[in-house]
Amino acid sequence: MSPHVAARLRITLLVLAVSVVQTALGSDLRIMGVAPDLMVVVVICAGLTGGAEAGAWVGFWSGLLMDMFLSSTPVGLSALTYCLVGASIGALKSSVLQEHRGLLPVAGFVGTAVAVMLFVVVGDVLGQTQLLGAGRSWLIRVVVIESLWSMVLALSIGFVYTRAARGSVGTERFRAPANPAVPTR
Amino acid sequence: MAVYRRSFRTRNVLAILVLAALTLITIDARSNGHGVLTNIRSKVSDGFSPLQRATHAALAPIGNFLTGAVDYGSLRSENQHLRDQVAGLQAEAIRAASAEQAAQQVLKDAGLPFAGNVPGVTAQVIDNGSSNFDNSVTINKGRASGIAPGQPVLSAGGLVGSVVSASSHAATIRLIVDPSFVAGVALPGGNLGYAQGQGATHALKVTVIAQHTGGTGSSVQLPPPTLKVGDPVITSGLKYENFPAGIPVGQVTRAVVPPGASEPDITMTPLASLNNLDFVQILLWSPQTSSAAG
């Protein structure tokens, strides 16, 4: 098995495992009624380590998986949101953001805040008005607490994701321009 | 050049994925819960339910520990509050037994179904709702146990919600706090109305319908209800309602008449604790079976 295929398989298993943990344990971790979103942290890690394309792919499939567990929003809404967040984080990482120890927690915080707002705004535009039914105060609370959760969880999930993605095509592409020894196509 | 090609390819991939997501949203929205995506959702739910059950059982102690650690202070005061309530309820139970007999007789005379007579299925909650915008839980029983969309769901405290979708061995329950949830309710004094969810952290809103139809079919205009905090609210169980009569829904937490208004502004909190549901009971009842029976 080639390293690329093995890495993809590991990432798939990680996404499946995170979805099971999220649905089984996520609600037990509520603070002020707000649960963390482990999957969005995985997507942010994918964007940071693999670039925009890897972020988009991982975001789309992990979002689609999470859509299967939601009952009040249409299939594809989380996929769309996560895909855009993963791609944006990846694009920013390769063009603007510099490698820094605090990058992952900060990206986790900002990426989650953007993901939550995007989910609600796009959902509202597509007719899912119940997403704003609990009021703006609830939305603000979710944005702040979920983002703080992501900030805390980012390092540990990032550690696991980096090992799972070792050898994947996206990771090489992202690292290629920084390393002159690796020929570009 | 290579960087440009990569950027072009990334844009194409992103455009394709966004279009795919928008197509899925459109297909699902147009299918109204009966399309191919609903079937896939149902199959995924069935496939994951054993894994979820096992993970829930394995990780529950960790979750309970973390919940306990975060909410230790409030749990202690809640414990004391519950002890006081139990003492009060023991006395109340004796008085309620005779009142229930009378209530069942009234419902029988009016030809209305009563929740106490409906068979039920007990199920375990395997997903307590991990999304912050989806007020639903998943249980470990589905169509194989007779569960179908629309059936009422109860816990020890009262109405929890209703079944929104069911696969072979799992079902999803929409909780009463969800903004899309509406239930017909009966208020003290004979008034009727409906309760609507306002989100997980908000009390339910009760809107009064001043018309009261008596058992003889006559329509009587009742004065606006005079409610006080703590008054019980139960399901009305009228014809074409989604729930049988007599299920406790909540307690009034606020009932004030705003200046210039004729009807009171009423809110209530659910009797059932929705935060950490473990076991629930699904009543094998639907408005269709009720009509057929009636």
Tens of pLDDT, residue by residue over B59-113, are 777 777 777 776 677 777 777 777 767 766 765 665 566 566 656 655 555 555 5
> Is A24 within the bounds of a domain?
yes
Residue A1: the pLDDT is: 73
More confident residue, A98 or A18: A18
Option in B127, B180, B202 nearest A23 (CB): B127
Q: Tell me how many residue pairs between chain A and chain B have CB atoms under 8 A apart.
A: 189
pLDDT (0 to 100) of residue B292: 44
Please give the helix or strand (H or E) that residue A83 lies within, else none. helix A77-95
Position A131 scores a pLDDT of: 83
With contacts defined as CB-CB under 8 Å, which chain A residues touch B166? Answer: none
- Residue A57 sits in a domain whose CATH number is 1.10.1760
d(CA B126, CA B138): 6
Nearest beta carbon to residue A28 from set B9, B64, B198: B64
Q: Which residues pair with B220 in a beta bridge?
A: B212
pLDDT value of residue A12:
94
The pLDDT tens digits of the residues spanning A33-54 come to 888 999 999 999 999 998 999 9
Residue A175 in domain:
no
Terminal-to-terminal C-alpha distance of chain A: 23
CA–CA separation, A97 and A117 (whole Å): 22
Across the interface, whether the CB atoms of B200 and A69 are under 8 A apart is answered: no
Q: What is the mean pLDDT of chain B?
A: 78
pLDDT of residue A177: 42
pLDDT at B224 (0 to 100): 63
| CATH code 2.40.10.340 for B118-294 | yes
Give the C-alpha separation, B136 to A40, whole Å: 20
Name the phi and psi angles at B107, rounded to 5.
-65, -35
Kindly list the residues from chain A whose CB atom is less than 8 angstroms away from the CB atom of residue B14.
Answer: 52-53, 56, 83-84, 87
Q: What sign results for the dihedral spanned by CA atoms B179, B182, B187, B192? A: positive
- As for how many domains chain A has, the answer is 1
pLDDT at residue A159 above 60?
A: yes
Between residues 147 and 166 of chain A, which touch chain B (CB distance below 8 Å)?
none
For chain B, the domains span 2-59, 118-294
In a domain, A20, yes or no: yes
A53 interfacial to chain B (CB closer than 8 Å): yes
Establish if A157 belongs to a structural domain: yes
In this prediction, residue B74 carries a pLDDT of 73
Quick check: B199 and A138 CB within 8 A?
Answer: yes
Q: Do A80 and B2 touch (CB under 8 A)?
A: no
For residue A81, the enclosing domain spans 3-170
Q: Which of residues 12-51 of B touch A (CB under 8 A)?
A: 13-14, 17-18, 20-25, 27-29, 37, 40-41, 44-45, 48, 51
> Do the Cβ atoms of A68 and B3 come within 8 Å?
no
Q: For position A184, what pLDDT does the model report?
A: 42
Q: How far is A135 from A130, CA to CA, in rounded Å?
A: 10
Domain assignment present for residue A177? The answer is: no
Residue A7 scores a pLDDT above 80: yes
Decide if A180 is inside a domain.
Answer: no
Asked whether residue A178 is domain-assigned, the answer is: no
Q: Which residue has the higher pLDDT, B117 or A85?
A: A85
Query: Please, which residues have CB within 8 angstroms of residue B77's CB and are 6 or more apart in sequence?
Result: none
Predicted confidence at residue B112, as pLDDT, reads 52
**Residue A139: alpha-carbon gap to chain centroid:** 19
Question: How many residues are present in chain A?
Answer: 185
Using an 8 Å Cβ cutoff, are A19 and A13 in contact?
no
More confident residue, B94 or A82: A82
